[in-house]
Amino acid sequence: MKKIFSFVLILMAIVANIDAQQLLSPSFSYSHKKASYVTLMDGKEIKGILDDIDRNKGLIEFIRIVDEAGQKLKLKAEDVKFMYLLPSGMDNLSKQADFLTDIKKWNDEKLDQDLLNQGYVYFESTQVIIRKSATTLLMQLLNPTFSKEVKIYHDPLANETASVGVAGVKVAGGDDKSYYIKIGDDVAYRLEKKNYAEEFKGLWGKCDEVIKKYTEIKWSELIKHVTDYTDCNK
């Protein structure tokens, strides 16, 4: 049964990736058996087994990890530059399927594509605007395979649109109603579905081709907008 289920997930990923890259669904549980990789602000690299993640209102505060020497470490989120964590169970299976198509022209070469292709998810420290003030948070990147110009981060407080599920697994719909989005070196900010049409020109205005191409603004076509904008700026 599990093999059949795996095949269905992979088949769905192939179909989904024929025309465009896809955003990853956010992960919330991670392997406590396979290695995690954490790089600190001072450049120190830690490979170890994840013990736990402490969150407050969905935002990461601490990462607890046992390093290769068996030492238990409690890392503050603010001290982590970036990290790769392997989702647990079926969540990881869906992540691996998502990376069957790898379009290199949109890739951020700074990311470890080998780990991403193994199903790891990527978190990085980035400045975000919250309540009109900039703060630094550890955020999960949802578009690692096409993040060269535009980065889309999971919004821990986002609601989802309606979705269709099979055996408890989401197969259609379920798009978040908001993301944190970062263009180039700008500070990331919260982009909401309800405001997207009015913010469209402000977001993609540096590329006339995108503005001219999309006269009807649809939240469901956000990925197309991102990849077209990336092509425009490569």
11 falls within a domain: yes
- Dist. CA 145–CA 134, nearest whole Å: 26
Name the domain count of the chain: 1
Owner of token pair 């969150």:
55
Residue 176: per-residue pLDDT: 81
The pTM for the full model equals 0.81
232 falls within a domain: no
More confident residue, 62 or 175: 62
- Dist. CA 17–CA 219, nearest whole Å: 18
Lowest-confidence segment of 18-27, 98-107, 153-162, 223-232 by average pLDDT: 98-107
220 falls within a domain: no
65 falls within a domain: no
Confidence check: pLDDT of 67 > 50: yes
Residue 3: per-residue pLDDT: 52
- What's the number of CA atoms in the CB half-sphere (13 Å) around residue 66? 8
Q: Which domain holds residue 100?
A: 2-29+87-193
Confidence check: pLDDT of 92 > 60: no
Residue 100: per-residue pLDDT: 44
Round the average pLDDT of the chain to a whole number and report it: 81
Confidence check: pLDDT of 186 > 60: yes
